[in-house]
Amino acid sequence: MISKKMEGLVRNNSVIRQMFEEGQRMAQEFGAENVYDFSLGNPNVPAPEKVKESIIRLASEENPLKLHGYMSNAGFPEVRRRIADSLNKRFGTAFDENNIMMTVGAAGGLNCALRAILNPGDEVLSFVPYFLEYRNYVNNFDGKLVEVGTTPETFMPDLADLERKIGPKTRALIINNPNNPTGVVYSEEVIRAVSGILEKAQEKYGSEIFIISDEPYRELVYSDKEVPFITKYYKNTLVGYSYSKSLSLPGERIGYLVVPYEAAGYEELFAAVTIANRVMGFVNAPSLMQLVIGDCVDEKADIDFYRKNRDMIYDALTSYGFTCVKPEGAFYLFLKSPIEDEREFVAQAKEEHILLVPGSSFSCKGYVRLAYCVSHEMISRSLPAFKRLAEKLL
């Protein structure tokens, strides 16, 4: 009954989303306080007070025809200008409103970017492990996702493998920094090395290869590492951003896409992403939320909340004998499974009412992902269950 492209997707519906629904079911059965749901990146820190104030102010004072009306498909120019100014101040860039398109979350922005540049059969690279939706996004436009290895334990790009995997059909590399699911942050040095390899490949193949930098976790960094702003290192960079995590607005679907003037064919490219926004049915990012972002462009949710969670769970799990790279950013921890088949580990954790996502959902078997964007209390309550798991399996 349904299209062939959807058949596989319906069969293998997102494990993460299924876990989310399973968590809700278990919470009803056992009581919410007895279920330790680490499955979904749904922030547990409320949006900043200023978001609330801005919504109330706009609803009370702004002309509803503007507040809820159509605007250019790229979004309100004044909001885009504020975002450009904020980026310029923070990163020393020189953007203006013509470099910013407001998007329906980062997912909307990434799809517009891919629609704008991909022809069927084009290849898009991504470092393993990666957010598995990338595969679906690339598949939306009949592209092919090509996995690039990372070094064991540290999850840093395997540069030799990157060189090997680039070919004449390579059209883009998706980078997710800080990374979901590992929590690692790529340093300036890593970005320079990756950019250098892409530059050489562009020359070799006479092609334009884009970096699509997916940055919903940019503000969530717990070390003193800076997350490099990649447009400064590599011209053909498109940056997808979302306020889902930094302002705790995941349900609102609000973000932006950066298209730098330096990108090859900038004018055509900006027109293409804007038209993609329209024809794919987004039309524009939600209008009220765009104006809220204009008010709150330099606000941040309470990042220290996540740092405390990271420390609590990392310290406890490693003290029980579990192994994982210490997350420097995002709100995920990528735990080595104590048994070979990590889906079996996920099943055993579920018996302890702990919900985890198997690494195979990120194309990386033998690991599981914990999303620690949960309450401190839930982490505390979950620790005895983790300890029992460690005693049983390690």
- Interaction residues for its own copies, span 199-218 (CB under 8 A): 208
| Dihedral pair phi/psi, residue 216, rounded to 5° | -65, -20
Residue 150: DSSP 8-state: B
**Do 177 and 227 touch, CB atoms closer than 8 A?**
yes
By CB under 8 A, residue 118 contacts its own copies: yes
Q: Where are the beta strands (DSSP E) in 8-97?
A: 36-37
Q: Which of 276, 296, 324, 364 binds its own copies (CB under 8 A)?
A: 276
Q: How far is the CB of 320 from its own copies (least distance, A)?
A: 29
Among 206, 224, 281, 377, binds its own copies (CB under 8 A): 281
Which residues inside 19-38 make contact with its own copies, applying CB under 8 A?
Answer: 20-21
User: What does the DSSP 8-state code read for residue 324?
Assistant: B
Shortest distance in whole angstroms from residue 278 CB to its own copies: 7
Least distance to its own copies, CB of residue 349, Å: 22
Name the one residue in this structure whose structure tokens are 């960079």: 237
Q: Which residues inside 72-111 make contact with its own copies, applying CB under 8 A? A: 72-73, 104-105, 107-111
Nearest one of 307, 296, 234, 238 to 266, comparing CA atoms: 238
In whole angstroms, what is the distance from residue 339 CA to residue 109 CA?
38
Using CB under 8 A, pick the residue from 176, 177, 237, 284 that binds its own copies. Answer: 284
Cα distance between residue 61 and residue 51, in whole Å: 15
Closer Cβ to its own copies, 170 or 337, answer by number? 170
Write down the least CB distance from residue 336 to its own copies, Å: 28
Residue 109 phi, psi (nearest 5): -65, -45
The single residue among 22, 85, 133, 147 that binds its own copies, judged by CB under 8 A, is 133
d(CA 124, CA 360): 19
Question: How near is the Cβ of 100 to its own copies at its closest, in Å?
Answer: 17
Give the whole-angstrom CA distance, residue 188 versus residue 233.
Answer: 9
Counting Cα atoms < 13 Å in the Cβ hemisphere of 159 gives 12
Asked if 174 touches its own copies (CB under 8 A), the answer is no
Residues numbered 292-321 forming contacts with its own copies, rule: CB under 8 A: none
Look up tokens 């598949």; give the residue: 139
| Under rule CB under 8 A, residue 340 binds its own copies | no
Query: Does residue number 278 form part of the binding site for its own copies (CB under 8 A)?
Result: yes
Q: Which residue of 252, 316, 334, 379 would you call a contact of its own copies, by CB under 8 A?
A: 252
- Would you count residue 249 as binding its own copies (CB under 8 A)? yes
Report the Cα 347 to chain-centroid distance in Å. 26
Residue choice 117, 162, 238, 370 for contact with its own copies (CB under 8 A): 117
* Contacts (CB under 8 A) with its own copies, residues 46-75: 46-47, 51-52, 55-56, 59-60, 63-65, 67-73
The CA dihedral of 234, 235, 241, 247, to the nearest 10 degrees, is: 70
| Interface characters, 375-394, with its own copies (x: CB under 8 A) | --------------------
Residue of 19, 172, 269, 357 interacting with its own copies (CB under 8 A): 269
How many residues does the structure list for the chain? 394
Q: Which is nearer to its own copies, 60 or 340 (CB)?
A: 60
What's the first-to-final CA gap in the chain, in angstroms? Answer: 47
Which H or E run includes 124? strand 123-127
Residue 18, interface with its own copies (CB under 8 A)?
A: no
* Total interface residues for its own copies by CB under 8 A: 82
Q: Which of residues 139-158 bind its own copies (CB under 8 A)?
A: 139-141
- Contact flag: residue 42 with its own copies (CB under 8 A): yes
Burial 110-139 (b: 16+ CB within 10 A, else e): bbbbbbbbbeeebbbbbbbbbbbebbebbb
Task: Return the closest-CA partner of residue 191 out of 244, 134, 163, 231.
Answer: 231
State the nearest-atom distance from the C-beta of 230 to its own copies, in Å.
19
User: Which of 142/163 has CB closer to its own copies?
Assistant: 142
Among 146, 159, 193, 275, binds its own copies (CB under 8 A): 275
